[in-house]
Amino acid sequence: MLKTKALNRLRRKITIETLWLYIISVLKDKPTYAYDVKVKIRKKFGFNPTTITLYVVLYRLVKEG
C-alpha cells in the first residue's frame, strides 16, 4: 500500500511540474482556448489536469514568455 501511495504521489508531482510541456505540445499545432487545451491533454496523454493548475501554468507561460 505504501508503495502505491508513494508511486501515485510521485506520478502526480512529476505530471504537475511538467504540465507546461504538455501544454506546449498541444499549442504547437495552433492557438487553442484553455478548456480545449485541457480536453486535448486528456485525449492525447491520458490524464486530466485540474482547471486551476492548467490556468496557473498558462498564466506563467504567458507572463514569462
Work out the end-to-end distance of the chain between its first and last CA atoms, rounded to an integer number of angstroms.
42
**Residue spans per domain, the chain:** 2-64
Burial of 14 (0-12, 13-18, 19+ CB in 10 A): exposed
pLDDT at residue 12 in the model: 78
Angle between helices 34-45 and 51-64 in degrees, nearest 10: 110
Q: Give Cα 36 distance to the centre of its chain.
A: 12
pLDDT at residue 2 in the model: 59
Instruction: For the full predicted model, state whether its pTM sits above 0.95.
Output: no
Over residues 5-64, the pLDDT tens digits come to: 888 888 778 877 899 999 999 999 899 999 999 999 999 998 888 899 899 999 988 998
Q: Give Cα 1 distance to the centre of its chain.
A: 26
